[in-house]
Structure 1
Amino acid sequence: MDDTERGRATDGVGDATTVREGDPDELVAVMRVFDAGLLEADAGEVRDRLAAGDCLVAEASGRVVGALALDGDYIDAVAASPSRRGRGVGTRLVRAALDRRGRLVADFDEGVRPFYEALGFDIEERDGGDGRGDGERRFRGVLRDE
């Protein structure tokens, strides 16, 4: 079994990244990752996800470099630290969540659509009735473990 099969992967600069269940004591670190990703994550909800075991973190060199919060099979938030973007951190988080749930659903805007497409999500455009009023196109994606 190689490092990738154990939940570890090397990001191209020799730094091993591990995906694991987040710990409630990591709330601040997880919120920093979400904030850096410009996500509107509620700290109380993230704390609840961490306590319930529904938040995964990517760790490298002893620090949280990515996080994914689940609500059932729905991805509430997923982000990687700016210095780790484009290195597969988000992909590893989504794959680990899929292994746990067997099916994932995500709502997202056009800017991150390529990320979800690359992961194999079946994507449909939403009708825009999300009440945001910003005119940005919204999408829903579904990924099944097949």
Structure 2
Amino acid sequence: MDNAFNYSQYRLRAMQGGDSLYNRMATANLFKEAQDAELEYKARKVTDKISENMNVIANEPSLAFFRIQEHVRKSLPQLVETKHEVQDIQQKVQGASFDTEYATNAVKNLQKSSMHFQNIQDLMKNAMFMKQQIDYQHDRRT
């Protein structure tokens, strides 16, 4: 019984902090578990952040291309419509330019033909003079 008494006193002292080895082992395990839980929490937090950053880095080009595609999809119909309007205007301007060039060439050719108009005028004067002579002779005969 003496042995049992000693054992219970030993346990009582151990629970009260009398045995330093027991206390060290008990607190070491508790501290180790607390440290492990804290370390595991921090490690999980770090890995989550790294994973999130890797996901963002990996998807950033995809996001950029998505934004570009979205912009193109929204602005392309307006751009196509504007292109068709510009082409129509270009055709009208080109037609007007050809008409203007043709008219300018016609005026220049008219200026070059002034000599021909002078010849026509002289011929008409001669024809009128001859007509007057013919009329005069005709009147004189009758």
Of Structure 1 and Structure 2, the greater helix share is in 2
Of Structure 1 and Structure 2, the greater strand share is in 1
Q: Which has the larger radius of gyration?
A: 2
TM-score (norm. length: structure 1): 0.13
The answer to which structure, 1 or 2, has the higher relative contact order (CA under 8 A, 6+ apart) is: 1
TM-score (norm. length: structure 2): 0.14
